[in-house]
Chain A
Amino acid sequence: MISSSALNELSKALGAAEVHATDYNRTGSHLDVTVAGDGLRAAAQTLQGRGFFLEDLTAVDHRTHREVVYRFNLYQGPCRVTIRAKADEADAVDTISDLYPLANWMERECHEFLGVTFTGHPDPRRLLLPEDSDFHPLRKDFVVPQEALAPEYHQD
């Protein structure tokens, strides 16, 4: 388990807007970092320099805005850092796919399901949905398109 002094040192190194230690036993994460704007790439670069790997990348639709949640972890021992980046009005967040190769696919998936654009992503095509889909299924205001709905659920 990671010591609190190491966590403190990591928090200082990240130097982001809000860093606070969370209860690992309750939430599963050691540090919770909220970044804004360019802070995301800086934090991701700091973590990469310390040997963290990208564990998870997803977004949450808060109805008024989207928030992208990143999880980083160390192979040597559980030290989970959660980074939250609020997408701006155009639903855009910087990409980290050049730093972490796994982010390439994960950002594509995040884009097609929640509509978050990752500026600078080399290949923003659909990953899981058919190539010609234009809807974002995990948005809270998503309504199943008529042609995709089974006949018995059609509102006739």
Chain B
Amino acid sequence: MSITDTSNVNIRSIETDRKISRGLSEQSFWLNLGPQHPATHGVLRILVRMDGERVVEAEPVIGYIHRGHERMGETRGYAQFFPNNSRMDYLGALTYNHGYCEAVEKLAGIEVPRRAVFIRTITSEFNRLSSHLLWLGAYLMDLGAFTPFIYIWEERELINDLLNHVTGSRLTYSYNRFGGVHKDIDDQFITGARAFIKRMRKRFKMYNRLVTGNVIFQARAKGVGAIPKQRAQAYGLTGPCLRACGVEYDIRKKEPYAVYSEVDFDIPTGQNGDAFDRYMVRFLEMEQSLRIIEQCLNRLPNGPYINDQAPRDLAPDPGEVFFAFESPRGQVNIFIKSDGTRIPYRMHWKNPSYTNLSILAELMRGQFIADVISIMGSFDLIIPEIDK
């Protein structure tokens, strides 16, 4: 058989291979998904080998936004590392701030006043809500629906206003300090938060009507990318991707920190582990976040918002700590080893999108390329937290 040229201006094929059957020649080609996408996911590159519209094999290539956070953690002081943790996961920045502070406070033995713990929980849950909202808009935009993307920004801007009032930033917060928080929340924040909760509950009904029952959305999400429970557990998935498979594993319930053991909330789980279940789990988690915020606002104690005795430039005693917390994407692990100086000896973060992405290669085999986009969107990946 003569070899025909397969050059196609849209596809950069770096390898073609031949499969000859019944006198016809078939070939598969390599397609580069990324690293430049429409800006929703970040710089992820997936090399897919395609046979027509189906993916034969896939390999994610990461490292395009590797900025060396771990090395920065080992060459600067504990407090100087603060800006880094918000930039690792910029959509869940307050949760990362919170987790980092809790980890270092555990290592150094710093007490946190009750009011500060409540404030941390409230702001983390607002962040979880705004992260899930953006995920919702971005995922639906990947599927082609532009309306929810525009609608969620309304809610996100309101949350940004509230958090901006208290923390000073819109996106990459550095709000928590060792021993508490940077600024107290005032009555304006509390009134605004309560008004927002009331408004959000009505908006959830609207989103449900707009999105959940939509025929096109269901066709593109139901049954797509179903992860078997055993595989999810073998890979060590966490977060909504795992909860959609039916495993009820949430660090907020299993290893509670802050005030999560004192408030009442449910962990939504799915059954099939497909994209639709991942969507439903996140949607219901948003409602649970509102519940947590409301309860925390009702029980907010008076008192100091920061422990003044906590040193600004920490030099904890030699030791190690391992701390796990729940970010909007799943379980984040922090491992800090101190050697007694003001600079950590070893700081290691394991972020949930890393684990969630590792199963993608196996999941994508045999899927249509359009379903691959749906699966990637439903995973809620933030690439800088994969690349640290």
Interface residues of A (CB under 8 A from B): 26-29, 51, 53-56, 58, 60-61, 69, 71, 75, 77-78, 80, 82, 100-102, 104-106, 113, 126-130, 137-138
Contact = CB atoms under 8 A, between A and B. Distances in A.
11 contacts: A27-B320, A28-B323, A29-B322, A53-B233, A56-B333, A56-B348, A71-B333, A75-B247, A101-B358, A105-B358, A138-B70
A105 B321 CA distance: 23
B249 A129 contact: no
B322 A100 contact: no
Using C-beta atoms within 8 Å of the partner chain, give the interface range for chain B: 35 or more
A141 to B, nearest CB: 13
Interface in B208-262: 233-236, 247, 249, 254-255
B321 A28 contact: yes
A21 to B, nearest CB: 15
A60 B233 contact: no
B340 interface: no
Nearest to B60: A105
Given A27-B322, A130-B63, A101 B235 contact: yes
A51 B249 CA distance: 14
A53 B345 CA distance: 27
A128 B388 contact: yes
B324 to A, nearest CB: 7
B70 A127 contact: no
B62 A128 contact: yes
User: Top 3 closest A-B pairs, CB basis?
Assistant: A28-B322, A128-B63, A53-B236
Contacts of A55: 236, 324, 331, 333, 350
Contacts of B319: 26-27
B335 interface: yes
A128 B234 CA distance: 23
A60 B346 contact: yes
A129 B62 CA distance: 9
Contact of B355 (A71, A75, A102): A102
Contacts of B45: none
Contacts of B70: 113, 138
A58 B321 contact: no
Given A55-B333, A71-B333, A77-B254, 8 more contacts: A27-B321, A55-B236, A60-B337, A69-B335, A75-B247, A101-B235, A128-B63, A128-B387
A58 B350 CA distance: 9
Nearest to A128: B63
Contact of B62 (A26, A101, A127): A127
A56 B388 CA distance: 15
B255 A102 contact: no
Contacts of B236: 53-55, 100, 102
B291 interface: no
B106 interface: yes
B236 to A, nearest CB: 4
B37 interface: no
Given A56-B350, A101-B234, A129 B321 contact: no
A85 B120 CA distance: 37
Nearest to A57: B350
A26 B355 CA distance: 26
A104 B255 CA distance: 27
Contacts of B322: 27-29, 56, 71, 80, 82
Nearest to B331: A55
Interface string B196-215: 00000000000000000000
A104 B357 CA distance: 12
B71 interface: yes
Nearest to B103: A28
Nearest to A123: B59
Contacts of A60: 337, 345-346
A83 to B, nearest CB: 13
A113 B319 CA distance: 22
A129 B66 CA distance: 7
Given A58-B335, A129-B63, A100 B234 contact: yes
Contacts of A56: 322, 333, 335, 348, 350
B57 interface: no
